[in-house]
Amino acid sequence: MPRLDPEEVRLDTIRPKPGSRTNRKRVGRGEGDGHGKTSGRGHGGAGSRAGSKRKAGYEGGQTPIHMRMRKLRGPHRKMSMPFERFRTHTEPVNIGDLPDRFEDGATVDRAGLVRAGLAHGKHPIKVLAKGELDKKLNVSADKFSAAAVAAIEAAGGSVTYVGADVDENGAQDG
């Protein structure tokens, strides 16, 4: 069907998009329509009977995924539940990437890391100690490794925990 010009569009000329409206499949109405006799259910078996349902998670006799996976326990280990929605996510930022992108004495926060392309800002940010840091930086992030805190403070910078519970000893929950 050709498209209508905008001036031809009226209540009596509008129509659904081609292919968006189809007639329902009427089964068991004779061999001619291709859905006769067994009505697309195959020959016999439990699946051809009325009221038949597949078990949830059934994979046709193949061992289901929840039985194929290893059975390590614990919510915070990547190995224990290898399904994405059960993972605890953090975005890693290495201190070796900071000197190239920030000036000496600068404040490094979430917005600055996103602008510098070091983080997406979607998950909590964890600063790790990989690389060398020779500039004095004031870094604020959700989490830090102990070695990263030591390296930042050794370079004359400071560390600020954002969005995490930290006790009086500087230890972090979670």
Which pTM was predicted? 0.49
- Give the model confidence (pLDDT) of 57-92 as tens digits: 888 889 988 888 767 666 655 555 555 665 678 899
Q: Is the pLDDT of residue 35 over 60?
A: yes
DSSP, res 107 = E
DSSP, res 68 = H
Distances 124 to 81, 86, 120, 141, 153 between C-alpha atoms, Å:
20, 16, 10, 8, 21
Give, rounded to a whole angstrom, the gap between the first and last alpha carbons of the chain: 61
The closest alpha carbon to 125, from 140, 141, 102, 107, belongs to: 141
